[in-house]
Structure formats: structure tokens, C-alpha cells
Amino acid sequence: MSPNTVETHQLITATEQFVKKELAEAEGGHDWWHIYRVWKLARKIAAREQVDMLVVELSALLHDIADSKFHGGDESVGPRKARTFLESIATPEPVIQHVVDIIVNISFKGGHNNGTFYSPELGVVQDADRLDAIGAIGIARTFNYGGFKNRAIYDPAIPPNLNMTKEQYKHSTAPTINHFYEKLLLLKDRMNTDTGRQLAVERHAFMETFLDKFYQEWEGES
């Protein structure tokens, strides 16, 4: 049986509070505010789609509850933590399983995450997560994470690698600029929804403008 409106609100509020507490000390590009933006974007996209809003909102809130990048590459931590929490607040099992399936399948992983699961709800949350990886916010997050990992900003001698395996992508130490070509500039054409595609166009163009200006300044041309 699906939760009623009051129960749905309680589940979402409890999840919001849990995520805020869990990510209070998280790296700046994967903290509560990343979750907040993805949550808001997911609701915006979902408003134009035929989806289960409870699944969308819970998945958006929990999609990065334990990002494998910060847990030794263990991709099971996030789904497991999400399930344990959702069970603790008496979420219906079908909803829990759907949310877990979304968390397992949402990540880019070098473009090699071709899972067997897909749902309209996954499409919505994945688009929202990808939108937060591009545009002005995406640029800020990319350099924040590069600094967090002490990576070079740019090295002309190290070209982007567009053919990395999932494991190579996961353990890459390439300069931050390479990430634009290895992931960010690819996302516009990998959106699932019409709304996601529309929102991605401007953000993608902003990144291209940024890169043009970056190379000009790197060479002292402007």
C-alpha cells in the first residue's frame, strides 16, 4: 500500500534531516548542498514526467549518501546505508528497493555504467545529478574536488583519455581540466528527459566558453 500524503511528507522530511546530518562534514562538491540542488532539480524535471514522486525525492536525497569515492571505492556502502535508513523509518519495501536500484545505477563511472535496471524515476534523478555536474556549479565542483585530491589544474603533456575502463576512471589522477573531456562535456547528450536536455544546453555552452577563455589565459593571450 502506498503512503498517504502525510506519511509521504514525513518520510521525505525524515530523510532530509538524516542526509543533512550524515553529510555535514562532506567534501564541498558532494555535501548537503549538492544533494539540495539535485533534489530541487529532480522535482523540477519530475513535474513534467509520469513518475512516482516519493521515489524520485527519496532517491535524490539519498543518491550520494555514501559516495564510493570516499569509501575506498566500495560501491555497496551507499545502497546499504540507504536501505538501512529507509527501513528504520518504515518505508514500504517496494519503494526501498526502487530507491536502492536507482542509487546503484545512477553514477557515470567513466561512461561504463550500463546496468540492466532503468525506470523513469532513475532517468529523472540521473538527469538532475548530471545537471549539477555541468555549468557554473559543475565547474566549481570540479575544481573543488581537484583541489581536494591535490591534482594539477592542467598539464598540456597529459591529454584526456576518452577510452578509460571503469577501473581506470575510478582511479584516475589526471589534471582537473581533463575531467571536462572525460565526463562533463559528454553529459549533455546523455540526458534521459526532454527537460534535462533543455536545461543541459545552456550549462554545456557555459563550460565551452569557460574552456576557451581558460586556454587563452593559460597562454597569456588575454
Residue-range domain boundaries for the chain: 5-218
Q: Does the pLDDT at position 91 exceed 70?
A: yes
User: How is residue 176 written as a grid cell?
Assistant: 582537473
Residue 106, pLDDT above cutoff 50: yes
- Mean pLDDT for all residues in the chain: 91
* Locus of grid cell 534531516: 17
173 pLDDT band, cuts 50/70/90, is very high
CB neighbours of residue 114 within 10 Å: 8
User: For domain 5-218, which architecture applies?
Assistant: Orthogonal Bundle (1.10)
Each residue's pLDDT tens digit, 23-41? 998 888 889 999 999 999 9
- Residues 113-158: pLDDT tens digits? 566 799 999 999 999 999 999 999 999 999 999 999 999 999 999 9
Round to whole Å and give the CA distance between 140 and 84: 32
Confidence (pLDDT) at 72: 52
Percent of the chain past pLDDT 70, that is, above it, reads: 91
| Helix axis angle, 53-62 to 93-105, nearest 10° | 50
Q: For 180-206, how does the pLDDT look when each residue is reduced to its tens digit (9 = 90+)? A: 999 999 999 999 999 999 999 999 999
Q: How far apart are CA 193 and CA 21, in angstroms?
A: 31
Dihedrals phi, psi of 85, to nearest 5 degrees:
-65, -50
Indicate the pLDDT class of residue 71, thresholds 50, 70 and 90.
very low
